[in-house]
Chains A and B, each alone.
Chain A
Amino acid sequence: MSIFSSVSPNSMPNRVLPVLGLLALALVWLLELGVIQPNRIVPGTGHGLWSAVGGAGAGLVSLILAGCVVLSLLPVRRRYLPLLALVGLSLALLPLLLEVFAGRHLPEDAPYARSSIGAGFWCLLFLLSLMLIEILGRLGSGRGLQLLILAVISGSWLWFLRSDGLESLSLVREFNARPDKFEQAFWTHMALAFGAVGISACLAFLLALKMIRSVVWRRPILGAVSFLQTIPSLAVFGLLIAPLSALAAAFPALQAIGIRGIGWAPALLALVAYSLLPMVRNTFVALTEVPESLADAGRGMGMNERQLFFKLKLPLALPVMVEGVRITTIQAIGLTAVAALIGAGGFGSFIFQGLGQAAMDLVLLGALPTIALALLADALLTMLAAILKPTPATA
């Protein structure tokens, strides 16, 4: 036993963490940590690590990163827990760097001056996140711990972003200028993305059932949903304007519930069309791949077709179907941002507004929550699929 544990992977020097740590150390010194702008449009002046947070701050950041590198190289078995604490805490307290930076450099008498996040900070955030993922993987941690860490880090970020110290941050300024619109955009985005996923999930289920029942329909249905997937998304949004306008003009009742050539109706239709392929394919494959010998056994024991479906086929197919929902949800959250082009609203509207005004921070205000939503949906649905997985991992 002792022979095995001395060469177990957890006591070997880690190769991923030192590389990530050293890269972070190099980039945080080479790139600008933050930028001070006199107002919203004028390009600002960048500050490196030393200048941004002072000698003490720069020293602390370097020390933590160097500490991670050294710790991960040590051939000690129980080093992943301290590493987890170190990296997790760094991630949670990362906004503190921006707060110190704003406090040191923001001119007192300039109400329009703002601080914004530099490339160095983004790199630090990204590399620390990668390190966290690597450490969690090595620890083989359960879902509970992962969720807890995620909650602690995002909670800490929210707390920092709402506090006074980061009020000068351009992202916060953009948000503070339009909190109502942000909330509205959030709900619109959610409603569009998840509405589309919900509708297409139901449709896909029915289509997959049809495909299973009659072989004749298999090729046409798969062909149609594949074809829908090949049209460029912008083109679908555009192409739907004319027919929907005509429809709305012909039936005023439709207009009354908000169906027009632009707005949520064409966006939802396009999103549903895009979501169909992964859902139909996964549902069909999952349901047809249930071994015939199991169905035979069930039938031979006296199950009717309805019982076979609900007790055998559906439970075995569910994880694969949820996988389809996961892919579709991530795709739909991203596509909903594009749907802002035809006036559907959502976070995409900030992105396109920001692009129009050359205000990158406004673009970020749209892009960051979209990314966060997608990552969150991905994590939750992956977990759901793992929970639904019918059989234990140990064979």
Chain B
Amino acid sequence: MIELKNVTRRFGDAVAVDRINLTVESGEVCVLVGSSGCGKSTTLRMINQLLPHSEGEILVDGKDVTAMNPEQLRLNMGYVIQGTGLFPHWTVARNIAMVPQLLKWPRERIDERVHELLTLLDLDPATHANKYPQQLSGGQAQRVGVARALAANPNILLMDEPFGALDAITRENLQLEMLRIQSQLRKTTVFVTHDIDEALRLATRIAVMDRGRIIQHDTPENILRRPASDFVENLVGKQDRGLKLMSLRTVRDLMQSYPQPRQPEPGADGLKEADSLRVALSIMLWQNWNQVPVFNADGEETGTITRERIIREGA
């Protein structure tokens, strides 16, 4: 758990972060979103004390960060930045092994962990472990950046616009990857971005920041339904709010389930339980379907969903 109590950061006379209060519960993903210069990166960098705060209190698992040795504090927090920050003179394996090596893990345990993490992030250890960062694509490099942050199994993950420099397709892949990993690992995560769609997709709760203050701190659904101010309303976009709400929910929420999963007819078309309602509606509009079967991850037919129900209850 991370608690910020009345935290202020000044640069000279300028106030970058103004008396903010924020609590990030264990295992949740808190996304700080806002335009550049709103203080979101400053807030993140105060949590691992790369920037000391001017006033207030920052508690990590109940302990004041200023009372801890900063290196010890950071060794227990994964840190991912935009542009990866991978060391160019180290191989992928050595980059991932950075924190375990600082923690003086034995050799075999490090090798095992590197292998495990490369596999977790969908990189083939045999082909990628001995490459250098500049031999990787942007998406691969950022996967390595995430693997490096997870290496010593920290409880907390700090991510500073990690996918900001990637193209739209790679970014979306990595977001899905992150959701998958987060569902397995449940790290307490603070994630900084200026992309509201990224925030809506990844967050358990979103903190919208503007000019050094937190304007609203709530779940994605509440941010969309009840924006606290015009600023938040503009940020989430007035017009496509309905579709954005739909993308927060999945087919599973509105489907009509069968009592027993069935074996599907061969070659049958349909939707997956994990598809968002937005995707489901889009496909149904395009294919001109009114009702389609829904399949689970194992490929069994588990129910059906209708267009009317999505339109009626989706947003």
Contact = CB atoms under 8 A, between A and B. Distances in A.
B88 A390 contact: yes
A257 interface: no
A104 interface: no
B99 interface: yes
Contact of B87 (A294, A296, A299, A392): A294
Given A300-B74, A302-B72, A391 B89 contact: yes
Given A300-B79, A301-B79, A392 B132 contact: yes
Given A303-B71, A307-B102, A298 B87 contact: yes
Interface in A297-326: 297-304, 307, 311-312, 315-316
A301 B98 contact: yes
Interface in A350-395: 390-392, 394-395
Interface string B41-53: 0000000101000
Nearest to A390: B89
B173 to A, nearest CB: 22
B85 interface: yes
Given A299-B50, A301-B79, A395-B135, A293 B85 contact: yes
A301 B99 CA distance: 7
Contacts of B148: 301
Contact of B79 (A294, A297, A316): A297
Nearest to A316: B89
B71 A315 contact: no
Interface string B84-110: 111111000000001100100000000
A300 B190 CA distance: 14
B153 to A, nearest CB: 14
Nearest to B85: A297
A300 B50 contact: yes
Contacts of A395: 134-135
Taking residues whose C-beta sits less than 8 angstroms from the other chain, chain B's interface range is 20 to 34
Given A296-B81, A300-B74, A395-B135, A316 B88 contact: yes
Contact of B85 (A294, A390, A391): A294
Contact of B135 (A293, A300, A302, A394): A394
B270 interface: no
Contacts of A312: 87
B2 to A, nearest CB: 15
B75 interface: yes
Given A300-B74, A303-B102, A391 B79 contact: no
Contacts of A390: 88-89
Given A316-B88, A395-B134, A395-B135, A293 B71 contact: no
B264 interface: no
Given A293-B81, A395-B135, A301 B88 contact: no
B99 A302 contact: yes
A315 B79 contact: no
A293 B134 contact: no
Contacts of B135: 392, 394-395
A297 B84 CA distance: 8
A14 B37 CA distance: 59
Contacts of B50: 296, 299-300
Nearest to B103: A302
B125 interface: no
Nearest to B84: A297
Given A316-B88, A391-B89, A395-B135, A300 B98 contact: no
A391 B99 contact: no
Residue among A302, A315, A394 having the largest count of chain B Cβ atoms under 10 Å = A302
B85 A302 contact: no
Given A315-B89, A391-B89, A392-B132, A301 B81 contact: no
A394 B73 CA distance: 37
A298 B75 CA distance: 10
Nearest to A299: B50
A299 B74 contact: yes
Nearest to A294: B85
B132 to A, nearest CB: 5
Contact of A391 (B73, B84, B134, B149): B134
A300 B149 CA distance: 10
B269 to A, nearest CB: 44
A300 B102 contact: no
Contact of B158 (A300, A315, A391, A392): A300
B301 to A, nearest CB: 47
B41 to A, nearest CB: 11
30 contacts: A293-B83, A293-B85, A294-B85, A294-B87, A296-B50, A297-B79, A298-B85, A299-B74, A300-B50, A300-B74, A300-B79, A300-B81, A300-B158, A301-B74, A301-B99, A301-B149, A302-B71, A302-B74, A302-B99, A303-B102, A312-B87, A315-B89, A316-B88, A316-B89, A390-B89, A391-B89, A392-B132, A392-B135, A394-B135, A395-B134
Interface of B: 48, 50, 71-75, 79, 81, 83-89, 98-99, 102, 132, 134-135, 148-149, 158
Given A296-B85, A301-B74, 10 more contacts: A293-B83, A294-B87, A297-B79, A298-B87, A301-B98, A301-B148, A303-B98, A391-B132, A392-B132, A395-B134
